[in-house]
């Protein structure tokens, strides 16, 4: 009473089951990896570096003092900002320094008209290199005796300092 | 009527069942074939993430105070203390990223090769660094450098020169310098003893970059303007237990302890010591921890001389008489291959 038909069904069933189990195993044991393109890694490294430089420039050297960054922005001192930024950003462990350039802009808000003014803050000319932007909010006291930021309101305010950084 | 072979009939049409099953099968097949590429990951994975490992190591070094956060006070001669260090981060505090502790930096860059390191108070290269900093299953090679940006005082290297292809990250940090406490003496005063009083609660109120950290850094006290020569006979340390009275005792002879310099010779514990015009006391990091003190404790150091040295019964340490050197900016690079 045992016939070929029954064996065929059984073999089919075993084969199907085997196929499903192998498939499930393959699916579960593979890892999905997102490999970023190389240029994004370079962007991330540059962004981290730029962020670090601005953070360290905004760390006062003594308790209660203003940081170098706040002083440079308040006094609209592009040279002091440039010297310090490039010194921090281009230092490497080799004798050959890195070759980072930047272009900085300050954005301030006029309280009377609510418009945003753009104040250029020095740097090299940007010729469309592959660049990243790092930014930092800076609290400045732009009252006449303390600050000299042109076009910005003469009051205590928070301005946005945006720095475009590129290598080359 | 007999059907002819080339006439389409019902049996040649695809049934709905078949279409549904076939669709599901094809979708599953596409899904599996897309994931097949991930099967080969284990053969190649270490080359993909050098940059990721370098970035992670940079974050641990620059932004993490480590675990435990006073790991630099551990004596690595004892295997149990070495095992207590889980992560070597150089930051002073988790809320002060980018500000490194000078003592942690010093301890981090002291290492010996794996054959001789376990009996010494040094890290084992490369095993301790792989276990407590780099992490991961693969035996990554690494090179970590720290260079002062406008100071050649900071110049540290760890690891061999990397090949051309390697993962890399550069971080800019500031290394906090310890503060010194300055008090003037006065030999035409009335007291034979100088008592220096610490109230740690007042000192720990400031944020980490600008505060004196007696528990985790060396504490240096400079006493100046003695005028006439005096002989320092003994130093006692006094603690203030919560339920109890002020208890004073002589100092330990082994580190961490308190040492004195007469301004000319190195710090030591030889008494009596002749002081001509100024002197310096160093309370080594870990001394207060040894006494079981914390950020809320009080402490006194009592120096007994053979003549009058001050007209103040007590000097209380406040930020008015502490001077700090500026933190030193530095560039730290991590390379992994």
- A-facing residues of B in 31-90 (CB < 8 A) are 31-32, 35-39, 41, 45, 48, 51, 55, 58, 62
Please indicate if any CB of chain B lies within 8 Å of the CB of A37.
no
Q: Is the pLDDT of residue A17 over 90?
A: no
B162: Cα separation from own chain's centroid = 25
Give the model's pLDDT for residue B13: 65
Q: Which of A32-46, B50-64, B133-147 has the lowest mean pLDDT?
A: A32-46
Verify whether the Cβ–Cβ distance B147 to A91 is below 8 Å. yes
Span A132-152, average pLDDT: 91
Cβ of A53 within 8 Å of Cβ of B172? The answer is: yes
* Residue B163 confidence (pLDDT): 92
pLDDT of residue A14: 84
If 0-12 CB within 10 Å is exposed, 13-18 middle and 19+ buried, where does residue B216 land?
A: buried
The pLDDT value given to residue B114: 78
pLDDT of res. B154: 92
> Which of B41, B55, B327 comes nearest A33 by C-beta?
B41
Question: Tell me, what's the pLDDT at A32?
Answer: 61
Q: Are the CB atoms for B300 and B179 separated by under 8 Å? A: no
DSSP conformation letters of B241-275: -TTS--EEEEPPSSSS-EEEE-SSSPPB--SSEEE
Task: Kindly determine whether residue B28 and residue A48, on different chains, have CB atoms separated by under 8 Å.
Answer: no
User: What are the chain A neighbours of B99 within 8 Å (beta carbons)?
Assistant: 59
pLDDT of residue A29: 76
- Better-scored residue on pLDDT, A135 or B252: A135
In this structure, what DSSP letter does residue B285 have?
T
Q: What does the DSSP 8-state code read for residue B130? A: I
Tell me phi and psi for residue B278, to 5 degrees.
-150, 160
The pLDDT of B273-283, averaged and rounded, is: 91
A137: Cβ–Cβ under 8 A, 6 or more apart, which residues? A158, A159, A160, A161
**Averaged pLDDT for residues B56-77:** 94
pLDDT-derived band at A144 (thresholds 50, 70, 90) equals confident
Look at residues B10, B321, B15, B6 and name the one whose alpha carbon lies nearest to residue B185: B321
A41, A87, A92 ranked by CB distance to B51: nearest: A41
Share of chain B above pLDDT 70, in %: 93
Q: Do A56 and B28 touch (CB under 8 A)?
A: no
Q: Does position A52 have pLDDT exceeding 90, yes or no?
A: yes
Average pLDDT, chain B: 89
Residues of A with CB below 8 A from B96's CB? none
Q: How confident is the model at residue A37 (pLDDT cuts 50, 70, 90)?
A: low
Helices A78-90 and A38-57, packing angle to 10 deg: 130
Banded pLDDT at A98 (limits 50, 70, 90): very high
Contact state of B32 with A27 under an 8 Å Cβ cutoff: yes
pLDDT, tens only, B132-152:
999 988 889 999 999 999 888
Instruction: Record the pTM.
Output: 0.82
* Contact criterion met (CB < 8 Å) for A56 and B98: yes
CA angle B257–B260–B266, rounded 5-degree value: 105
pLDDT in tens, B200-231: 999 999 888 999 999 999 999 999 988 888 89
Q: Taking CB atoms and an 8 Å limit, are B35 and A59 in contact across chains?
A: no
Q: Is the pLDDT at B45 greater than 80, yes or no? A: no
Is there a contact between B333 and A48 if contact means CB atoms under 8 Å apart?
no
- Return the exposure string of B56-83: e unless at least 16 CB atoms fall within 10 Å of the residue's CB, then b: bbbbbbbbbbbeebbbbbbebeeeeebe
Closest by Cβ to B210, choosing from A23, A41, A63? A63
Question: Is B301 in a helix, a strand, or coil?
Answer: strand
Cβ–Cβ pairs < 8 A, chains A and B: 87
Q: What is the pLDDT of residue B300?
A: 94
Residue B9 has pLDDT above 70, yes or no: no
A56 in B contact zone (CB under 8 Å):
yes
Q: Which residues of B touch A23 (CB under 8 A)?
A: 28, 32
**B134–chain A nearest CA distance, Å:** 18
Q: pLDDT over 70 for what percent of chain A?
A: 89
A56 and B329 within 8 Å at the Cβ level: the answer is yes
Q: Which of B45, B172, B209 has the CB atom closest to A88's CB atom? A: B172
* Cα atoms found within 13 Å of the Cα of residue A126, Cβ hemisphere only: 17
Closest partner residue to A23 (CB to CB) among B32, B51, B331 is: B32
pLDDT at A38: 65
Q: Are strands A100-109 and A156-167 parallel, antiparallel or unpaired?
A: antiparallel
Check CB contact under 8 Å for B171 and A63.
Answer: no
Q: Report yes or no for ipTM above 0.90.
A: no
**B330's tokens:** 């530095």
Query: Nearest CA of chain A to the CA of B322: how many Å?
Result: 12
Higher pLDDT, B52 or B115: B52
List chain A residues with CB under 8 Å of B328: none
Cβ contacts of B180 within 8 Å, gap of 6 or more: B220, B221, B222, B322, B323
Other beta carbons within 10 angstroms of residue B184's beta carbon come to 15
> Is the pLDDT confidence value at B48 over 90?
no
Check: CB of residue B304 under 8 Å from CB of residue B234: yes
């Amino acid at each position: 009473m045992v016939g070929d038909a029954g064996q065929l069904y059984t073999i089919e069933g075993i084969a199907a089951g085997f196929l499903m189990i192998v498939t499930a195993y393959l699916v579960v044991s593979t890892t999905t990896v997102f490999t970023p393109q190389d240029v994004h890694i370079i962007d991330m490294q540059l962004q981290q570096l730029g962020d670090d430089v601005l953070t360290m420039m905004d760390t006062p050297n003594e308790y209660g003092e203003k940081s170098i960054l706040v002083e440079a922005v308040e006094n609209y001192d592009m040279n002091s900002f440039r010297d310090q930024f490039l010194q921090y950003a281009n230092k490497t462990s080799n004798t050959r320094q890195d070759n980072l350039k930047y272009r900085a802009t300050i954005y301030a808000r006029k309280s009377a008209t609510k418009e945003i003014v753009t104040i250029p803050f020095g740097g090299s000319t940007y010729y469309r290199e592959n660049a990243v932007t790092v930014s930092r909010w800076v609290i400045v006291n732009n009252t006449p005796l303390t600050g000299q930021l042109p076009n910005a309101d003469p009051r205590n305010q928070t301005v946005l300092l945006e720095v475009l950084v590129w290598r080359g | 009527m007999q059907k002819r072979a080339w006439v389409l009939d019902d049996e040649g049409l695809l049934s709905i069942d078949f279409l549904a099953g076939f669709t599901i099968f094809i979708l599953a097949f596409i899904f599996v074939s897309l994931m097949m590429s991930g099967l080969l990951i284990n053969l190649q994975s270490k080359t993909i993430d050098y940059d990721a490992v370098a970035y992670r190591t940079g974050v641990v070094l620059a932004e993490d105070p480590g675990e435990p956060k006073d790991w630099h006070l551990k004596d690595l001669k004892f295997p149990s203390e070495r095992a207590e260090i889980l992560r070597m981060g150089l930051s002073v505090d988790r809320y002060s990223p980018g500000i490194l502790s000078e003592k942690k930096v010093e301890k981090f860059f002291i290492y010996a090769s794996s054959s001789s390191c376990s009996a010494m108070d040094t890290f084992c290269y490369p095993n301790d660094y792989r276990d407590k900093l780099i992490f991961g299953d693969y035996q990554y090679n690494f090179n970590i450098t720290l260079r002062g940006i406008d100071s050649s005082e900071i110049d540290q290297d760890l690891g061999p020169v990397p090949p051309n292809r390697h993962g890399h990250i550069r971080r800019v940090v500031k290394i906090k310098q310890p503060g010194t406490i300055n008090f003037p003496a006065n030999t035409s005063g009335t007291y034979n003893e100088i008592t220096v009083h610490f109230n740690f609660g007042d000192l720990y109120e400031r944020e980490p970059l600008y505060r004196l950290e007696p528990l985790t850094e060396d504490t240096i006290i400079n006493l100046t303007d003695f005028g006439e020569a005096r002989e320092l006979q003994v130093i006692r340390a006094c603690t203030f237990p919560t339920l109890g009275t002020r208890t004073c005792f002589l100092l330990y002879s082994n580190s961490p302890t308190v040492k004195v310099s007469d301004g000319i010779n190195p710090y030591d514990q030889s008494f009596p010591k002749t002081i001509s015009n100024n002197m310096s006391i160093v309370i080594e990091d870990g001394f207060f921890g040894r006494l079981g003190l914390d950020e809320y404790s009080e402490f006194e150091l009592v120096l007994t001389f053979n003549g009058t040295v001050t007209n103040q019964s007590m000097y209380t340490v406040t930020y008015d008489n502490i001077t700090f050197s500026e933190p030193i900016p530095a560039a730290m690079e991590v390379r992994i291959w």
